[in-house]
Amino acid sequence: MALYRSLELSEPLVAPAVLAAFDGWIDAAAASTAAASRIASGGDRVVTFPPDDLYDYRSRRPILDIVDGKPTTLVWPELAITRTRLGERDLLVLTGAEPDFRWQELGSDVLELCVRLGVVEWVSLGSIPAAVPHTRPVPILATASRPGLLAADEQQGPEGLLRVPSACLSTIELAVAEGGIATVGFYAQVPHYLQGPYAAATIAMLEHAGRHLGVDVPTRELTEEALAQRERLDAAVAADDDSRAYVARLEQIAGEDQRLPSGDELASEIERFLRGESGPSAG
């Protein structure tokens, strides 16, 4: 029995693309799920995934609303696909909480669903903590299932072997790619010292995904938010000598070294993030 439940489509899809981002392992500053939610906004939910099959409720507990001392409603973690249209393009946005269980089965089912719906390409979005300053443009690491899928100015990397704990999104993307559907991924590097949302990373992913898919994603409100956040971060860093020195060092490294980080460097940064180490705290 499939892990998903599909609804009737009001009209047929024309060469749809899937855009996917999960709340979990590769969603630093919630930047990738914010991008996916912005694209899905106003769309129609067309596929749902029963949460009992996918989630450990002890690690991702449902939210209980208690009104005037009376338990009223429960909000469960969810995963769903929303159909939306940007310009002349049909998009299917797969987003929600990263599942805990049945990843391989989910990958097979999502591939089956993609084939049934006529999906022609897949775009994964993610955000990862990195030793980058907030004062520079957000670096984007790109992946592709085969040569020729990325624009000439997009860097596929890092070179060599990168071995890190996998996200559920990656296991699904691999299943889809092995099924013959072209897949790419855009992963924003988020300054690891930030706390809370980071609009600049969301904008960067939307720009890359939009260009790849040939659609225009409005980002004006996000741009205003990013500028306001930049001012707050600059003020917080300027007020602390250690933070100012730390960001200056990151700027120096960025100026000296324009290459993509190596696999070992990325793995080390992720390990440091998991240990809870950071530089200045500003958000």
Q: Which domains does the chain have, with CATH numbers?
A: 5-275 (3.40.50.10900)
pLDDT score at 282: 45
User: How buried is residue 133: exposed, middle or buried, by Cβ count under 10 Å (0-12/13-18/19+)?
Assistant: buried
| Residues with Cβ within 8 Å of residue 114, at least 6 apart in sequence | 18, 122, 176, 179, 181
Q: What is the DSSP string of 204-218?
A: HHHHHHHHHHT----
User: pLDDT tens, position by position, for the chain (283 residues)?
Assistant: 789 998 878 788 988 999 999 998 899 999 999 999 999 999 999 999 999 999 999 999 999 999 999 999 999 999 999 999 998 889 999 999 999 999 999 999 999 999 999 999 999 999 999 989 999 999 999 999 999 999 988 878 767 887 888 999 999 999 999 999 999 999 999 999 888 899 999 999 999 999 999 998 888 889 999 999 999 999 999 998 888 888 888 888 877 555 545 555 555 554 554 455 444 544 5
Euclidean distance between CA atoms 100 and 120, whole angstroms:
27
Segment holding 241, helix H or strand E: helix 241-256
The single residue listed with the structure tokens 């956040």 is 229
Euclidean distance between CA atoms 60 and 77, whole angstroms:
7
Q: What is the pTM of this model?
A: 0.86
Beta strands in the chain (DSSP E): 5-6, 17-23, 44-49, 63-67, 70-75, 79-86, 89-97, 121-130, 140-144, 182-191
Side chain identity, residue 6: S
> What is the Cβ-side half-sphere exposure of residue 101, based on CA atoms within 13 angstroms?
13
241-252 confidence digits (pLDDT tens): 888 888 888 888
55: phi then psi, degrees, rounded to nearest 5: -120, 145
